[in-house]
A and B are shown apart, each in its own frame.
Chain A
Amino acid sequence: MPSLDKRLVAALVTGSVLVGATVWSWRAEQRASATRVLATPDACLVEMTRAAQQGDVGAYLNCFAGPLRDELLAQSRSAAGLADSLRQSVAQLKGTASYEERPATTDAADMVLERIYAGHNESWRVALERTADAWRIITMTRIGSTNPPIEYGTPVFEGLEQRGQGAGGREQGAGSSEQRAGSSKVLASLLPLPCSLFPQNAHVHLLAAED
């Protein structure tokens, strides 16, 4: 029996070590993953938008740094239903396009973030800095609203369909509601952040789609 006890103890110890190692490895991977998604300025902007859509407050705030993050953090503690607000803020957003406004240095980047709505685009200047192997937003400033060369959702086979030669149906998800949504007036130009949480840009509150 003593030998059985020893084997039991050994098994328990081994199991504990393995479980511990797995948990440690998983958490390390989670940390690395969080950093990886912010590995470039572009990735940070993509993550901010995705986090807003998912209502993931933690991931969203993780995309910011400096006083802006502190301010957002402070407001997030006082704002009720922040996750819902985040989701709602991007509900009408069709997409975002981001590109460098000027070549980035190793630690700082100035990006332009275009937010694509049905009928118009809205541009923001975003400054990011690199801290601890991750890029984070430190300021966001609205540039203005523009009309794109081709409106979002413009179909290309309109003419063909009228001539009865059709494009053929898509195999899945055929058709789109986006073109029909184009005319609806919605409060679509919110940042992926409730504007009330964004004090230095308070003047852009609740812009309408026509803006």
Chain B
Amino acid sequence: MNIGGRWLIGVLACGLIVSLWGFEQMAPAQRGDGAAADEAPADGAKRAAKKAAAAKKQAADAKKRAAAKQGAVKDPGAPPADDHPVADDPNKAPVAPTGPSLSSGDSYDDFCSVAEKADGTLYAAYLAYYDGHDQVRIHKKLVTDPGKPERWSTRTHMPLVEAEPDIWMPQLAVDAKDRLWVIWSEQVGRTDRKSGNWDLYARSLEDDGQRWGPIVRLTNDPKPDINHHVCVDSKGVIHVVWQAHPDNNGDVMLCRFDGEKWSKPLAVTTGSGADWYPRVAVDREGVEWIVFDSYRNGDYDVFLTKVDGDKPGDVIPIATSKFYEAHPTVACAADGKVWIAWEQGGWLWGKDQGHWVKYEKREIGTALGSGRNVKVAVFDGGKLLAAPAPPVPADARGPVAPDDPKNILPNRQAGGTAMAVLAADDEGRVWLGYRLHRRSPAGQKGRFKTYWTQSVTQMTADGWADAKELELSAGRISVFSRLLPCRKDGSLHVAYSADMRTPADYHQPIEDRAFVATLPKPEARPGAPELSAYEPPQAPGNAREFDFAAEKADLMAVRGDRREIDGVQHRIVRGDLHRHTEMSWDVGPGNDGSYLDFYRYMIDVASMDFGSLTDHQGGGQYAYHWWLTQKSADMYYLPPRFVPLYGYERSVKFPNGHRNVLHAYRGVPVFPFQLKLTQQGVFPGVSSGEVVENDTKLLYEFLRKTGGLAISHTSATDTMGTDWRDNDPEVEPVVEIYQGARNSSEVVGGPRVHPIDKEPADKAPGGYQDAGMVWNAWGKGYRLGSTSSSDHGSTHISYSLVYTPKVDRQEILDAIRKRQTYGATDNLIVSFEADGHFMGQEFTTGKPPALRLKVHGTGKIDRIDLIRNGQYIYASSPGKRDVDVTYTDMQPEAGTNYYYFRLLQDNGEVAWASPVWINFEGQ
């Protein structure tokens, strides 16, 4: 061959290589192959944004109608019908606020704060969710003639960092130069596809209210800086404490403003113990006393520390029993004593409890919304003294005191008092505000609907004075009220928010509003009764211990496991994709606790890697609840420690069935019930059976456009279940085969399935019907992987485990879509593959397939069952923790075979691997 020929061959070869490489690098859409479908979510996002705008308008209309309805209800506690009429005419301006309510009726208002200037002028600020973003709205109290109703200025807005901001807890303070400051946390840099960073910012109103000063950024850590608390000392120095997450773990931080400049953040606590919700008060010596709660001891305890200059002091244990002791508050009284209050909830809060462990008498912990009461103590000269508990009206008392040692585990005695806030005035008076649990009259099936109101009391020589339950204060438990003693006249300003729920539907919000109430100076002189030493509460009579060391070892094993799937290394993430909070209408603020405590549970108590708050219809199709749900999922985005997904439960009754809906990115609206036009009233409620025939198919269509997933749950109940009339493997790839709150839906006679041979169907929680067993779905050829989650009340006994290449929202959702999942009641490691195809996959072969199961149990594996096409084909009892077994199926059936393993440990724990589907083409 001549030189030219070689060159020609060389050039052609290079061209071929470059072409092949180029093809590989080409975008799927350019290639024109099937992978282009992967790009669909981007278009879906745009469509979703348009839909979001439409849904927003719908929600606003619904809110107006609801508020109008509320005005028609004869509620002695509700505002007069003409107080804040919701304008039917959109051109009608909102009315100016009068009385305690600041709200104008065009927004959802929360996190109200109040501050007083030297001349006694009162300012109030609150977060207003308006038109798809947050605002800080500010009012000044106007001077009115004595005896006339108090009036506030028309609101103004403080410009924030982002044009469409996402903020948290705006708080007011007045500095030494009598300037008003707003200190808030804001998420910056968020897009629909990724969470931004939460930092603290401050901005002052300069020149006696003539202009806003520059925005001062107080923090710059790349992880969330949130849950701040602001106080001002007697010299006008502003003190700010907050919860930072430098290592994805709550640490307490502090900074100050001396009138000239803001100090750099000072780490008050560091280390692996998760510290939450710091609060600060300053004594007359200028020493900062900071309280916080922490999971450092394996349950929530309250600690106190002080900072003198830039030296954080020792951390002093205040309440360290195995009860839930959290949400502390602190005040420094004029006599130098440090008052501390916190809420004490259930024993081993959030540990194992749910239907089957109760059935088997193995309950260890208490529900997240378990009964709680505010405890008060005084730290005086190194001693901790017990102060009386705040008063609870007789008609608000639960049947059993939560911490009565003779009580059973205080699991379902939801109620009591919570969210304490202390303040001390210059006369030596100590004020205490708290949320008070109330319940509606018993409704159907004797169930109560519950809600919380705001109460305030003050300490006297005879103990706490009768509490004042503030009007119009019904709402969530998660209301952060602020107390501001007035220096001029000894009165107390209370800033709070409420959502105007009515006696007819005390679980259902109408409109979140902000309030400032002023309580006159009490006639009783300040004082305190003689206090004795604080004694920690006794354990309940039937308290069980929990093996923290064993759980830690199990979790390390789960997190350390690595598995190669299709050439890519994967790890297991543990999650819960079905949890409720106070924002679910069906139970309200009952057993599930607040949306804030959902995150504590997920991050610390259950040590989840991912999960989703899935309140019904995103919080009852109530726009602010869905906003809070999504916003809080951004606030606690702490990869790889914890990755919250955006989710809600869509509760269409049997036979369509309930489904949890999950999204990897924000801004997709809740898909409403597609109702028949046979309903009356404003809302269909959180569950509906009156939907059009193709309601579920319309949901699938919506999820295809928006990149979301749906997961059917309790499919074998006759209330929430389904007869498996619908499935779409692309958007409904897995099923919640077991639910902690109720039963397994695997198959009649299966582990943790309602024992129909022993107990009638009506004894099954949620009801019973066996057409919804998951084996029916598999029998119909549905490609469904297995997951396990909790639902109402249940904690720590049901996990969705996912093999993912990265701990990232989209990657986790994609892994679920690939059915690389298993469900388990404990921290088992389960890996199942067939001829190198991981569980969830489907493939074709002509050889007898070899199915390999690898398990690391948390106890001895008592039983392995391998199921193919609705038949047991292999069962064994290994009797050890580690199992690695390969089954070769010599007689697969022609066509499609589904196979999966189910495991049962000798301690009753269960795991369900996702199936593999094998199309057998051999003889």
Q: Do A and B bind each other?
A: yes
Q: Which of A7, A97, A169 contacts B887 (CB 8 A)?
A: A97
From B109-117, B188-196, B534-542, B877-885, the one touching the partner chain is B877-885
The answer to the question of A159 belonging to the interface, with a C-beta cut-off of 8 Å to chain B, is yes
Interface residues in B799-838 by Cβ distance below 8 A to A read none
From B154-162, B508-516, B847-855, the one touching the partner chain is B847-855
Alpha-carbon distance A160/B749, docked complex (angstroms): 11
Q: A42-B852, A168-B776 are in contact. Are A114 and B876 (CB under 8 A)?
A: yes
Within the complex, the shortest CB–CB distance from A100 to chain B, in Å, comes to: 6
Interface residues in B143-192 by Cβ distance below 8 A to A read none
Q: A42-B852, A172-B896 are in contact. Are A97 and B886 (CB under 8 A)?
A: yes
| B885 touching A173, Cβ below 8 Å | no
Q: Which of B724, B848, B875 contacts A168 (CB 8 A)?
A: B724
| A154 touching B872, Cβ below 8 Å | yes
Alpha-carbon distance A3/B50, docked complex (angstroms): 70
The answer to the question of A72 belonging to the interface, with a C-beta cut-off of 8 Å to chain B, is no
Residue of B nearest to A151 (CB): B872
Interface residues in A184-210 by Cβ distance below 8 A to B read none
The answer to the question of B889 belonging to the interface, with a C-beta cut-off of 8 Å to chain A, is yes
Q: Which of A93, A153, A155, A170 contacts B890 (CB 8 A)?
A: A93
The answer to the question of A150 belonging to the interface, with a C-beta cut-off of 8 Å to chain B, is yes
The answer to the question of B781 belonging to the interface, with a C-beta cut-off of 8 Å to chain A, is yes
Interface residues in A167-181 by Cβ distance below 8 A to B read 167-173, 176, 178-179
The answer to the question of A26 belonging to the interface, with a C-beta cut-off of 8 Å to chain B, is no
| A116 touching B886, Cβ below 8 Å | no
The answer to the question of B58 belonging to the interface, with a C-beta cut-off of 8 Å to chain A, is no
The answer to the question of A98 belonging to the interface, with a C-beta cut-off of 8 Å to chain B, is yes
| Chain B interface residue number, banded | 35 or more
The answer to the question of B32 belonging to the interface, with a C-beta cut-off of 8 Å to chain A, is no
Alpha-carbon distance A100/B880, docked complex (angstroms): 12
| B871 touching A155, Cβ below 8 Å | yes
Alpha-carbon distance A6/B5, docked complex (angstroms): 11
Q: A168-B776, A170-B781 are in contact. Are A159 and B876 (CB under 8 A)?
A: no
| B883 touching A99, Cβ below 8 Å | yes
| B748 touching A172, Cβ below 8 Å | no
Within the complex, the shortest CB–CB distance from B29 to chain A, in Å, comes to: 32
List, in ascending order, chain A residues with CB within 8 A of B863's CB.
149
Alpha-carbon distance A12/B888, docked complex (angstroms): 48
Within the complex, the shortest CB–CB distance from A154 to chain B, in Å, comes to: 5
Alpha-carbon distance A179/B869, docked complex (angstroms): 12
Q: A6-B1, A97-B885, A114-B876 are in contact. Are A150 and B865 (CB under 8 A)?
A: yes
Alpha-carbon distance A96/B863, docked complex (angstroms): 17
The answer to the question of A125 belonging to the interface, with a C-beta cut-off of 8 Å to chain B, is no
List, in ascending order, chain A residues with CB within 8 A of B780's CB.
168-171
Q: Which of A7, A42, A43, A97 contacts B874 (CB 8 A)?
A: A97
Interface residues in A9-30 by Cβ distance below 8 A to B read 10, 14
Q: A95-B890, A149-B863, A165-B771 are in contact. Are A116 and B884 (CB under 8 A)?
A: no
| B886 touching A46, Cβ below 8 Å | yes
| B891 touching A96, Cβ below 8 Å | no
Alpha-carbon distance A50/B878, docked complex (angstroms): 25
| Chain A interface residue number, banded | 35 or more
Q: Which of A53, A97, A167 contacts B775 (CB 8 A)?
A: A167
The answer to the question of B576 belonging to the interface, with a C-beta cut-off of 8 Å to chain A, is no
| B779 touching A94, Cβ below 8 Å | no
List, in ascending order, chain B residues with CB within 8 A of A172's CB.
781, 894-896, 919
| A94 touching B873, Cβ below 8 Å | yes
The answer to the question of B581 belonging to the interface, with a C-beta cut-off of 8 Å to chain A, is no
Residue of A nearest to B897 (CB): A173
**Most A Cβ at <10 Å: residue of B871, B873, B890, B893:** B890
Q: Which of A43, A153, A160, A167 contacts B872 (CB 8 A)?
A: A153
Q: A10-B1, A167-B870, A168-B776 are in contact. Are A98 and B781 (CB under 8 A)?
A: no
Q: A93-B890, A170-B869, A171-B780 are in contact. Are A156 and B775 (CB under 8 A)?
A: yes
The answer to the question of A82 belonging to the interface, with a C-beta cut-off of 8 Å to chain B, is no
Alpha-carbon distance A148/B863, docked complex (angstroms): 11
Interface residues in B336-362 by Cβ distance below 8 A to A read none
Residue of A nearest to B780 (CB): A168
Residue of B nearest to A111 (CB): B886
Q: A153-B871, A168-B776, A168-B779 are in contact. Are A97 and B894 (CB under 8 A)?
A: no
| A116 touching B870, Cβ below 8 Å | no
Q: Which of A6, A95, A166 contacts B889 (CB 8 A)?
A: A95
List, in ascending order, chain B residues with CB within 8 A of A90's CB.
890
Q: Which of B770, B873, B878 contacts A95 (CB 8 A)?
A: B873
| B872 touching A49, Cβ below 8 Å | no
The answer to the question of B747 belonging to the interface, with a C-beta cut-off of 8 Å to chain A, is yes
Within the complex, the shortest CB–CB distance from B868 to chain A, in Å, comes to: 9
Q: A6-B1, A50-B848, A148-B875 are in contact. Are A178 and B891 (CB under 8 A)?
A: yes
| B886 touching A159, Cβ below 8 Å | no
Alpha-carbon distance A44/B303, docked complex (angstroms): 60
The answer to the question of A152 belonging to the interface, with a C-beta cut-off of 8 Å to chain B, is yes
The answer to the question of B2 belonging to the interface, with a C-beta cut-off of 8 Å to chain A, is yes
The answer to the question of A137 belonging to the interface, with a C-beta cut-off of 8 Å to chain B, is no
Alpha-carbon distance A98/B887, docked complex (angstroms): 7
Q: Which of A14, A49, A99, A176 contacts B884 (CB 8 A)?
A: A99
List, in ascending order, chain A residues with CB within 8 A of B2's CB.
6
Alpha-carbon distance A150/B875, docked complex (angstroms): 6
Alpha-carbon distance A44/B9, docked complex (angstroms): 45
| B1 touching A150, Cβ below 8 Å | no
The answer to the question of B867 belonging to the interface, with a C-beta cut-off of 8 Å to chain A, is yes
Q: A6-B2, A10-B5 are in contact. Are A154 and B850 (CB under 8 A)?
A: no
Q: Which of B748, B776, B871 contacts A176 (CB 8 A)?
A: B871
List, in ascending order, chain B residues with CB within 8 A of A45's CB.
886, 888
Alpha-carbon distance A178/B869, docked complex (angstroms): 12
Q: A46-B850, A95-B887 are in contact. Are A149 and B870 (CB under 8 A)?
A: no
**Most A Cβ at <10 Å: residue of B847, B865, B888:** B888
Residue of B nearest to A11 (CB): B1
Within the complex, the shortest CB–CB distance from B830 to chain A, in Å, comes to: 15
| A95 touching B1, Cβ below 8 Å | no
| B779 touching A159, Cβ below 8 Å | no
Q: A42-B886, A170-B779 are in contact. Are A156 and B873 (CB under 8 A)?
A: no
Within the complex, the shortest CB–CB distance from A5 to chain B, in Å, comes to: 12
Q: A49-B848, A100-B884, A168-B780 are in contact. Are A157 and B894 (CB under 8 A)?
A: no
| A149 touching B896, Cβ below 8 Å | no
Alpha-carbon distance A99/B876, docked complex (angstroms): 12
Q: Which of B852, B874, B919 contacts A148 (CB 8 A)?
A: B874
List, in ascending order, chain A residues with CB within 8 A of B1's CB.
6-7, 10, 14
| A173 touching B876, Cβ below 8 Å | no
Q: Which of A149, A159, A179 contacts B748 (CB 8 A)?
A: A159
Within the complex, the shortest CB–CB distance from B872 to chain A, in Å, comes to: 4
Q: A95-B873, A149-B863 are in contact. Are A165 and B770 (CB under 8 A)?
A: yes
List, in ascending order, chain B residues with CB within 8 A of A93's CB.
890-891
| A157 touching B889, Cβ below 8 Å | no
Residue of A nearest to B865 (CB): A150
Chain A 34-56: CB-based contact to B (< 8 A → 1; otherwise 0): 00000000110110011001000
Chain A 123-166: CB-based contact to B (< 8 A → 1; otherwise 0): 00000000000000000000000001111111111011001011
Residues of A whose CB lies within 8 Å of any CB of B are: 6-7, 10, 14, 42-43, 45-46, 49-50, 53, 90, 93-100, 114, 116, 148-157, 159-160, 163, 165-173, 176, 178-179
Q: What are 8 sample pairs from A and B whose C-beta atoms fall under 8 A apart? A: A10-B1, A49-B848, A94-B890, A96-B887, A152-B872, A156-B747, A156-B775, A173-B920
Apart from A49-B890, A153-B873, A170-B870, what 15 extra A-B contacts exist at CB < 8 Å?
A: A10-B1, A53-B890, A95-B888, A99-B883, A114-B876, A116-B874, A149-B875, A153-B872, A157-B775, A170-B779, A170-B895, A171-B895, A172-B919, A176-B893, A178-B891
Residues of B whose CB lies within 8 Å of any CB of A are: 1-2, 5, 9, 724, 747-749, 770-771, 773, 775-776, 779-781, 847-848, 850, 852, 863, 865, 867, 869-878, 883-891, 893-897, 919-920
The 8 closest A-B pairs by CB, nearest first: A172-B895, A173-B895, A171-B781, A173-B893, A10-B1, A167-B779, A168-B780, A150-B875
